[in-house]
Amino acid sequence: AQRVTQPEKLLSVFKGAPVELKCNYSYSGSPELFWYVQYSRQRLQLLLRHISRESIKGFTADLNKGETSFHLKKPFAQEEDSAMYYCALSGGGYNKLIFGAGTRLAVHP
Amino acid sequence: EPEVTQTPSHQVTQMGQEVILRCVPISNHLYFYWYRQILGQKVEFLVSFYNNEISEKSEIFDDQFSVERPDGSNFTLKIRSTKLEDSAMYFCASSVDNYEKLFFGSGTQLSVL
Return the top range by mean pLDDT from B14-23, B54-63, B97-106.
Answer: B14-23
pLDDT at A52: 79
Of all residues in chain B, the percent with pLDDT exceeding 90 is 85
Least Cα separation, residue A90 to chain B (angstroms) = 9
User: Are B56 and A94 a contacting pair at CB < 8 A?
Assistant: yes
Any alpha helices (H) in A10-75, and if so which ranges? none
CB contacts of A100 in chain B (<8 Å) are 42
User: Are A43 and B107 a contacting pair at CB < 8 A?
Assistant: yes
Whether the pLDDT of residue B99 is over 80: the answer is no
Least Cα separation, residue B18 to chain A (angstroms) = 26
Interface of B with A in 52-111 (CB under 8 A): 55-56, 58, 91, 93, 95, 98-107
pLDDT (tens digit per residue) in A20-79: 999 999 988 888 899 999 999 889 999 998 877 778 899 999 899 899 999 999 999 999
SS3 (DSSP) at B41: coil
Q: A36-69 b/e with 16+ CB inside 10 Å = b? A: bbbeeeebbebbbbbeeeeeeeebebebeeeebb
d(Cα A60, Cα B7) in Å, to the nearest integer? Answer: 34
